Amino acid sequence: METATKPSLWLRLANPAAFNTLANRLLWPLIIATVAAFAYGLYGAFMTSPADYQQGETVRIMYIHVPAAWLALFVYAGMSVSALGTLVFRHPMADVAQKAAAPLGAGFTLICLITGSFWGKPMWGTWWEWDARLTSVLILFLIYLGIIALWRAIDEPQRGARAVAILTLVGAVNLPIIKFSVDWWYTLHQPASVFRMGGPSIHKSMLTPLFAMGLAYLFLYLVLLILRMKTELMTRRLERLQIVAADKLAKSTGA
């Protein structure tokens, strides 16, 4: 039985050294992919794609705004999977991944909110509109902040990881309910004139740079995630080494 002797990739990754090896091998290709995707996407977004016949040049904010919204949700989905990894499979890398991902997700959500506000100024005439989509994203941002706050409040990483995992899963169950309730609330209080996006009827000349930017954001996220996970592993190792060093010092001085 060969399969029994060779552990799966999943299991081998539980070893920080194995994870580091794989991370180092992936890092540079991912960085190159990020740069390439951003170059192609930004060129398309600002140079080749046409201006909208209604919105003019402001439509270009879309290429920054929409991929950020995608990533905001994607990162949360990934964190939910990590939460299951922490609680069910007790995979040691799961909570490292989750801790590394939370501020990144909050960052993408913030980019989405800020660019949404910039887009709202010319379209709605105000910096902020209590629009259903913007409001849902704002609540998602608040949930991210709650998760980060809980991480920082509990100083023991093991215990903190499990508390955050439970909070993440409770949030994951609640997010569809919140999304539904906010949409419902909005249709009830909808202001008279609201700008709406063209829906799925975006022309291909705009869709291609949009997807390119989506890929660029995704690659950027992966690069930052790997870097943050490596940093988190090193921080934990450093803490352990400090404890060992303090222990040695205490013994040598006879305390």
Partner 1 sequence: MNALFAVIRREITLARRIGAGAELGIVFFLILISVVPFAIGADQKLIGRIAPAILWLAALLATLLGLDRLLQADEEDGIVDHLLLGDTPLMLVLAAKALAHWLVTGLPLSLVAPLLGLMLAIEPGAMLPLTISLLIGTPALTLIGLVGASLTVSLKRGGLLLSVLVLPLSIPTLIFGATVVKEAAAGRAYETPLMLLAGVSLIMLVIAPLAAAGALRFARN
By CB under 8 A, name the binding residues for partner 1. 87, 139, 142-143, 145-146, 149-150, 153-154, 158-159, 162-163, 165-167, 169-171, 173-174, 177-178, 180-182, 184-185, 188
Based on CB atoms, which residue is closest to partner 1, 36 or 138? 138
For the bound state, the minimum distance from the C-beta of residue 129 to partner 1, rounded and expressed in Å, comes to: 18
Based on CB atoms, which residue is closest to partner 1, 60 or 179? 179
Exposure class string for 228-238: b at 16+ Cβ within 10 A, else e: bbbebbeeeee
Please state, in angstroms and as integers, the Cα–Cα distance from residue 85 to each residue in 163, 168, 231, following that order.
13, 12, 20
Structure tokens at 163: 């508390």
Based on CB atoms, which residue is closest to partner 1, 22 or 154? 154
Structure tokens at 35: 């740069």
Total residues belonging to the chain: 255
Helix (H) / strand (E) containing 131: none
For the bound state, the minimum distance from the C-beta of residue 70 to partner 1, rounded and expressed in Å, comes to: 21
Q: Hey, which residues does 56 pair with through a beta bridge?
A: 52
For the bound state, the minimum distance from the C-beta of residue 117 to partner 1, rounded and expressed in Å, comes to: 20
Nearest to 96 by CA among 223, 228, 243: 228
Based on CB atoms, which residue is closest to partner 1, 64 or 132? 132
Structure tokens at 190: 């909808």
For the bound state, the minimum distance from the C-beta of residue 220 to partner 1, rounded and expressed in Å, comes to: 27
For the bound state, the minimum distance from the C-beta of residue 148 to partner 1, rounded and expressed in Å, comes to: 10
| Cα four-point dihedral sign 107, 67, 44, 225 | positive
Name the 3-class secondary structure at 8. Answer: coil
Based on CB atoms, which residue is closest to partner 1, 122 or 146? 146
Based on CB atoms, which residue is closest to partner 1, 189 or 196? 189
For the bound state, the minimum distance from the C-beta of residue 193 to partner 1, rounded and expressed in Å, comes to: 23
Q: What are phi and psi of 56, to 5 degrees?
A: 70, -145
